[in-house]
């Protein structure tokens, strides 16, 4: 059954034909999802829900009006209201957008096993199996095992003749074990997600085992002393670092009207060693940041943010692209049809370097091997991440296990301090995602090879 009927999209196309508008777009969607959440021996929630609605965004006289609705009967009213809101403003500086070419296309996720054909009981038994593994050790206090699937249809139409449809099927599991020994409480977590059918969430028993074992092992891990260290970051930490610390700086909405920032983010300026390449690529179908088109109807592209150590590109919406006279990159994304698209990343990673993993570890006598990430934040100049865990490296040998490794530093200095880049790149996604401007979590992926960085500040008692 489709909610987005031809009658509805015809009405949308009709509604876009308004006078005095530089640009107008309508996005409508309808979706249904199932969530099963288990915790310890309990079923926290068995829930399903549907969400439908849309929004109209209008650019007129250089200002934006945006109206969202969940009753399709209000679509025409919403279009008129969006235009009124845009015209209500006398913009001192006017926004504009790059042009798009008329194009009609349909996209759909490749699905092996449709969620609609999977009995609820089978979904429940799958996540129960993972949950049983997560709580398998005696020291596990509690667990959280979350299953989520989502099927949606989405229509994007604009006043320039772009008409896109997307039938999306997405699912994932999020697996957490919380180990406890006396007063010590230690969580560990992994999440797997992707576009496809039920096959995406099957076969992750080994991940559940790893989560339970790591949470338990970390109970006995120590914390490193505070100070400056040489570190090797694993692929996941390298990916989060490049997403948080550099990727957000490449989002042009921050740069485009900010003169001092523009002076820092100059194309051609050196940001790291010649081995360093940083890429954002929304076309990679196997990763959670994949989009067939962004929420302004631009198809995604492979954008080199850094090529051979030098700043070579940035991420654009059609508005920031017009402002900076650069091409739109397909990075205007919204978390749902109820919110406005803003400049976001997709699949962002450090490209492979020349060194094997053995060469990296062979070149570090003393330091820390920092693995995985619990959380990270940046204010665009400074960053801080907490690693999932790590190991002391002494005399070239892997030593004690560490937990609560908090890395921080200045973004630009740290990028210049990258000493070696491995050749074992790997991508990560999951049910979580990226947050910006109150829109969270947006599905993205990140990754890279192992990298070695010198002089990284690690918090803690000295």
Residues 187-246 that bind other proteins (CB under 8 A): 187, 226
- Residue 203 contacts by C-beta under 8 Å, 6 or more apart in sequence? none
Q: Minimum CB separation from other proteins for residue 286, in Å?
A: 28
How far is Cα 144 from Cα 134, in angstroms, rounded to an integer?
8
Q: How far is the CB of 422 from other proteins (least distance, A)?
A: 25
Which one of 8-16, 147-155, 165-173, 175-183 is the stretch in contact with other proteins (CB under 8 A)? 175-183
Sorted by sequence, the CB contacts under 8 Å of residue 393 that are 6+ apart come out as: 232, 361, 364, 365, 366, 367, 368, 369, 399
Q: Which stretch binds other proteins (CB under 8 A): 68-76, 152-160, 347-355, 363-371?
A: 68-76
Our CA angle for 295, 348, 251, nearest 5°, is: 60
Contact region with other proteins (CB under 8 A), list: 253-261, 273-281, 310-318, 442-450? 253-261
Give the residue, chosen from 4, 26, 60, 64, that forms a contact with other proteins under the rule CB under 8 A.
Answer: 64
Q: What are phi and psi of 6, to 5 degrees?
A: -60, -35
Counts for the chain of helices (H) and strands (E), in that order: 10, 24
Instruction: Report the residue from 13, 61, 81, 307 that binds other proteins according to the rule CB under 8 A.
Output: 81
- Binders in 361-400 for other proteins, by CB under 8 A: 374-382, 384-386
User: Considering beta carbons, is residue 256 or 314 the nearer one to other proteins?
Assistant: 256
Find the binding residues for other proteins in span 270-329 (CB under 8 A): none
C-alpha distances (whole Å) from 73 to each of 15, 165, 184 are 12, 20, 55
Contact 400, 391 (CB under 8 A): yes
User: Binder to other proteins among 15, 24, 25, 66 (CB under 8 A)?
Assistant: 66
**Per-residue mark of binding to other proteins, 86-105 (x: CB under 8 A):** x-xx-xxx-x----------
Among 13, 113, 129, 180, binds other proteins (CB under 8 A): 180
Q: How many CB atoms lie within 10 A of CB 269?
A: 13
Using the rule CB under 8 A, which residue among 19, 260, 268, 358 binds other proteins? 260
Task: Determine, following the binding rule CB under 8 A, whether residue 117 of this chain makes contact with other proteins.
Answer: no
Sites for other proteins among residues 415-454 (CB under 8 A) = none
Residues 399-418 that bind other proteins (CB under 8 A): 403-404, 406, 408-410, 412
Contact call for residues 402 and 271 (beta carbons, < 8 A) = no
Min separation Cβ 285 and other proteins, Å: 29
Nearer to other proteins, 66 or 349 (CB): 66
Q: Which of 85, 118, 322, 324 binds other proteins (CB under 8 A)?
A: 85
- The answer for residues whose C-beta is within 8 angstroms of residue 42's C-beta and 6 or more apart is none
Phi and psi torsions of 102, nearest 5°: -55, 140
Parallel/antiparallel/unpaired status of strands 426-428 and 451-458: unpaired
| Site size for other proteins (CB under 8 A) | 84
432 phi/psi in degrees, rounded to 5: -75, -155
> CB of residue 187 vs other proteins: minimum separation in angstroms?
7
Q: Between residues 51 and 283, which has the closer beta carbon with respect to other proteins?
A: 51
Closest approach, Cβ 104 to other proteins, in A, equals 28
**Which residue bears the tokens 């009981």?**
121
Under DSSP, the state recorded for 220 is: T
């Amino acid at each position: 059954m489709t909610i987005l009927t031809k009658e509805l999209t015809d009405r949308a196309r009709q509604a876009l034909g308004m006078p005095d508008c530089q640009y107008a777009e309508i996005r409508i969607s309808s979706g249904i999802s199932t969530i099963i959440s288990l915790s310890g021996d309990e079923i926290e929630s068995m829930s399903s829900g549907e969400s439908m609605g849309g929004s109209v965004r209008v650019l007129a006289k250089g200002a934006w009006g945006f109206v969202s609705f969940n009753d399709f009967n209000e679509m025409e009213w919403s279009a008129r209201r969006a235009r009124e809101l845009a015209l209500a403003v006398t913009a001192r500086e006017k926004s504009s957008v790059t042009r798009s070419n008329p194009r009609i296309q349909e996209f759909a996720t490749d699905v092996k096993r449709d969620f609609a054909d999977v009995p609820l009981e089978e979904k429940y038994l799958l996540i129960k199996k993972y949950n049983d593994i997560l709580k398998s050790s005696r020291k596990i206090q509690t667990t959280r095992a979350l299953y989520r699937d989502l099927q949606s249809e989405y229509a994007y139409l604009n006043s320039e003749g772009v008409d896109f449809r997307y039938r999306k099927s997405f699912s994932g599991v999020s697996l957490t074990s919380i180990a406890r020994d006396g007063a010590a409480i230690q969580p560990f977590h992994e999440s797997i997600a992707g576009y496809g059918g039920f096959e995406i969430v099957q076969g992750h028993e080994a991940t559940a085992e790893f989560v339970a074992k790591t949470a338990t092992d970390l109970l006995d891990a120590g914390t490193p002393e505070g100070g400056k260290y040489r570190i090797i970051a694993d692929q996941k930490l390298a990916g989060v670092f490049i997403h948080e610390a550099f990727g957000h700086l490449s989002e042009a909405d921050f740069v485009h009207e900010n003169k001092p920032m523009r002076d820092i983010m100059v194309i051609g300026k050196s940001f790291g060693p010649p081995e360093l390449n940083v890429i954002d690529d929304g076309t990679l179908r196997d990763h959670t940041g994949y989009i067939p088109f962004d929420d302004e109807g631009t198809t995604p592209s492979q954008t080199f943010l850094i090529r051979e150590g030098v700043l070579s590109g940035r991420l654009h919406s059609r508005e920031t692209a017009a402002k900076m006279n650069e091409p739109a990159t397909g990075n205007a994304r919204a978390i749902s049809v109820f919110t406005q698209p803003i400049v976001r990343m997709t699949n962002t990673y450090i490209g492979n370097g020349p060194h094997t993993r053995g060469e990296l570890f062979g070149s570090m006598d003393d330091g820390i091997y920092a693995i995985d990430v619990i959380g990270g934040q940046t204010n665009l100049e400074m960053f801080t991440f907490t690693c999932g865990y790590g190991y002391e490296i002494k005399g070239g040998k892997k030593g004690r296990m560490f937990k609560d490794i908090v890395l921080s530093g200045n973004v630009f200095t740290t990028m210049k301090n990258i000493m070696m880049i491995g050749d074992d790149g790997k991508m990560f996604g999951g049910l979580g995602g990226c947050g910006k401007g109150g829109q969270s979590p947006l599905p993205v992926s990140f990754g890279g090879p192992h990298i070695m960085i010198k002089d990284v500040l690690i918090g803690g008692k000295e």
